[in-house]
Amino acid sequence: MAVRDVHVLGSPVLRQRAEEVSGVDDALRTLIDDMFDTMAAFSGVGLAANQVGIARRVAVVNAEGQTITMINPRIVEADGRDVKEEGCLSIPEVYGEVTRPERVVLEALDEDGAPYRLDAGGLVARAIQHEIDHLDGILFIDHLSPMKRQLLVSRWKKEHKGEALTRTPTPEETEEDE
């Protein structure tokens, strides 16, 4: 069990397309355990491996009482439309309204390498989509209008100029960040 540092905006790994996982082994399970610890330490509802500096297709979610491990996740069905404010552990203090399908069907492998299918709605569906985006190098700010994104990013960069590209947990984390 270990809490890992979380990479923040500006760290190249967040813009990398993560690699498929070819086999689930103990090293990968250790990574997953650490990701759950890290997500809890930051009070997050989701975390992708890119965010702890590892570009492999692994992500975790803890939302609405549901904990999900996703290895090589894929959305196979999506419908509806839902607009909600999102945040991200990798872009602290930045929030924006993101439109996404309201319901998704996920296919992934669990921590034993077994395939499963999950029908999700609400915050769980949103977190799943947000985390899969991370694995494709996409951040929630990419879903905002170019003007809004530019404003948020330039302000954030100004406020965090010269700071490290990783962060450790602080007590004031909110519960809405992914």
Instruction: Provide the 3-class DSSP secondary structure of residue 85.
Output: strand
Please tell me which residue in 64, 93, 97, 131 is annotated as part of the active site.
131
Task: Show the binding pattern over residues 112-141: x = contacts Ni ion (CB under 5 A), - = does not.
Answer: ------------------------------
Distance CA 154, CA 146 (A): 12
CB of 15 to Ni ion, least distance (A): 13
Amino acid at position 83, single letter: V
Distance CA 76, CA 104 (A): 7
- Residue at shortest CB range from Ni ion: 88
Residue in the block written with tokens 């500096």: 53
Residue in the block written with tokens 């905006």: 9
CB of 178 to Ni ion, least distance (A): 4
* The two three-digit tokens of residue 17, written as one number: 């397309």
Q: Is 86 a catalytic residue?
A: no
Kind and range of the H or E run holding 152:
helix 146-159
CB of 159 to Ni ion, least distance (A): 18
Kind and range of the H or E run holding 151:
helix 146-159
Question: According to the binding rule CB under 5 A, does residue 178 interact with Ni ion?
Answer: yes
Stretch that binds Ni ion, among 11-19, 22-30, 87-95, 155-163 (CB under 5 A): 87-95
Position among 88, 98, 109, 128 found at the interface with Ni ion (CB under 5 A):
88
Count of residues near Ni ion by CB under 5 A = 2
Binding site for Ni ion (CB under 5 A): 88, 178
Catalytic residue list = 131
